[in-house]
Amino acid sequence: MSESAFSSLVDDIFARVEEWVEDAGLDVDFLSAGGMLTIVSEANGSQVILSRQSAVSEIWVAAKSGGFHFSRRDGDWYCKTGESLQELLVRCMQEQFNEAPRQALELPE
């Protein structure tokens, strides 16, 4: 995948993550700049950070439980832990914010 196609895909993924969290009504703010999307809990200031890593065509997630690298496989994004991007985001938000969206996160293929 070209770098421009990767960047476009990640832009769409980040927009869908924002929409997914907003639709769930969670008490969070978003900061988006420089290829990063930061989800910040208004209740406790905790952050989950998604970043675009164009050189290796990965999405990285930083959370209290660690740093996770996601690569595209079979039309979805997976980490070495075996978790999909969607599964990890739900887990990290539940751990850090004590709440997470209940509906599924639909990502572009």
Give the pLDDT of residue 77. 96
Burial of residue 72 (number of CB atoms within 10 Å: 0-12, 13-18, 19+): middle
pTM above 0.75, yes or no: yes
Contact 17, 90 (CB under 8 A): no
Domains contained in the chain, number? 1
Contact 94, 46 (CB under 8 A): no
H or E segment and range at residue 22: helix 3-23
Residue 56 lies inside a defined structural domain of this protein: yes
The boundaries of the domain holding residue 9 are 3-97
Residue 84 lies inside a defined structural domain of this protein: yes
User: What CATH number should be reported for the domain holding residue 34?
Assistant: 3.30.920.10
Residue 38 lies inside a defined structural domain of this protein: yes
Low-confidence ranges of the chain (pLDDT < 70): none
What is the phi-psi region of residue 33: left when phi exceeds 0, alpha when psi lies from -120 to 50, beta otherwise? beta
**Angstrom distance (rounded) from CA 68 to CA 92:** 11
Tell me: the pLDDT tens digits for 41-67? 999 999 999 999 999 999 999 999 999
Residue 105 lies inside a defined structural domain of this protein: no
Residue 15 lies inside a defined structural domain of this protein: yes
